[in-house]
Amino acid sequence: MPYMLGGRISSAVPGLWGEGFGYRADEIYSLASAANNPKAPPVNASFHILSPHSITHVDAASHIIGDGATIERYFSPTRQNCFYGPVTVAKLQGAGWREVAGATALKIWRVSKTELIAAVRVASGKDTPPNKLFLTVQGVPLNEHGYHDPNFIMVLEPEAAEWLVSNSGFNAWGTSWKSSDFEPGSSDRPVHKILLRQAVLYELLTLHDVPQGEYFLAGVPLLIEGGSESPVAPVLFMSEELSWT
């Protein structure tokens, strides 16, 4: 059975990063109003207003880097394979959570290079960086909408991110947390900058039900011209699901 990694989108999903809301629908037409207005189209239709960083999304380089590539540039024949192909899903094990100084409600796991290599080894049997890696924590708490609880912060140490980009074929990073950095009080985003040199970033992935291992990714975002991010609903397939003969 394929695994769907796009999180729930509803008006109840809260906005993150000061976005105000995750999703809102504004009516254009409705069957109810058409019943009383013969000139109105007999359909239900709405404007669907999304705050991408509050739902499952892809970040392009331009999200952090001023002259970085925007979403449509990844659709070129030489770069579009960042959206599909073999991907390793790894899950951190154990008790790596630490309290955040001055914010006892927050827990953080800054994943070291050693921890990342160990997680990749368990998931793939290899000690080398994969071309695509999706990472979460086994048993991570979820919020009421089924997303990784934002109070449990999981980010890479810069050294771990550098290990990933040491593979020239590395082109996609994915995390179940809401971002790839946690730098309160700072405008720097070191892990974003390292990973975006080569890869697109998938954030807020729903990975809790996915066993670790190797899959085939189909995760094409909306082709938003000039966009620094875009909503996405990735799907993972097991190898036996790719045969149609």
Q: CB within 8 A of 197, min separation 6: which ones?
A: 61, 165
pLDDT tens for 28-66 read 999 988 888 888 899 999 999 999 999 999 999 999 999
Q: Find tokens 């994915």 and name the residue.
A: 174
Structure tokens at 130: 């994969």
pLDDT tens for 9-28 read 999 999 999 899 999 999 99
What are the structural domains, with CATH classification, of the chain?
55-242 (3.50.30.50)
The pLDDT value given to residue 239: 83
Q: Is the pLDDT of residue 184 over 70?
A: yes
Half-sphere exposure (Cβ direction) of 162: Cα atoms closer than 13 Å: 7
Nearest to 211 by CA among 86, 90, 112: 90
**Cβ pair 221, 230 in contact under 8 A:** yes
The pLDDT value given to residue 244: 62
Q: Tell me what the mean pLDDT of segment 128-133 comes to.
A: 98
Structure tokens at 162: 């550098």
**Cβ pair 55, 22 in contact under 8 A:** yes
pTM equals: 0.95
The pLDDT value given to residue 155: 98
Out of 90-94, 112-116, 185-189, which region has the weakest mean confidence (pLDDT)? 185-189
The pLDDT value given to residue 124: 97
b/e for 51-90, b at 16 or more Cβ within 10 A? bbbbbbbbbbbbbbeeebbbbeebeeeeeeebbbbebbbb
Distance CA 3, CA 211 (A): 10
pLDDT tens for 61-113 read 999 999 999 999 999 999 999 999 999 999 999 889 999 988 878 999 999 99
The rounded mean pLDDT for the chain is 95
The pLDDT value given to residue 245: 53
Q: What's the distance, Cα to Cα, between the start and end of the chain in Å? A: 17
Distance CA 205, CA 3 (A): 11
Q: Tell me what the mean pLDDT of segment 147-155 comes to.
A: 97
**Cβ pair 174, 130 in contact under 8 A:** no
The residue ranking higher by pLDDT, 50 or 244, is 50
